[in-house]
């Protein structure tokens, strides 16, 4: 997900199932850029955030 002032939503593929989407309040849905899918698929990142790989994180 992106910050409100970011313009990278096209680089992040947020996937949601219809059931999950319907459970979100409208005010949340309105702020997200997402793709509705029948089932979630693995997303392969094009980069690694080093800090997230450390156990202490």
DSSP calls for 5-41:
T---GGG---EEEHHHHHHS-HHHHTT---EEESS--
Task: For residue 53, give both structure tokens.
Answer: 């790989």
1 falls within a domain: no
Instruction: Give the pLDDT confidence score for residue 55 in this predicted structure.
Output: 73
Q: Domain containing 44: what range?
A: 9-53
The residue with greater pLDDT, 15 or 3, is: 15
The model's pTM: 0.60
Count how many domains the chain has: 1
State phi, psi for 15 to the nearest 5 degrees.
-110, 140
pLDDT in tens, 20-37: 999 999 999 988 888 899
Under the banding of pLDDT at 50, 70 and 90, the label for residue 3 is low
4 falls within a domain: no
12 pLDDT higher than 80 = no
Query: In whole numbers, what is the pLDDT of the chain averaged over residues?
Result: 80
16 falls within a domain: yes
């Amino acid at each position: 997900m992106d910050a409100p002032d970011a313009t990278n939503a096209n680089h992040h593929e947020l996937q949601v199932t219809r059931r999950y989407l319907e459970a979100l309040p409208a005010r949340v849905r309105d702020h997200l850029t997402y793709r509705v899918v029948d089932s979630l698929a693995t997303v392969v990142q094009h980069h690694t955030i080093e800090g997230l790989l450390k156990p202490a994180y």
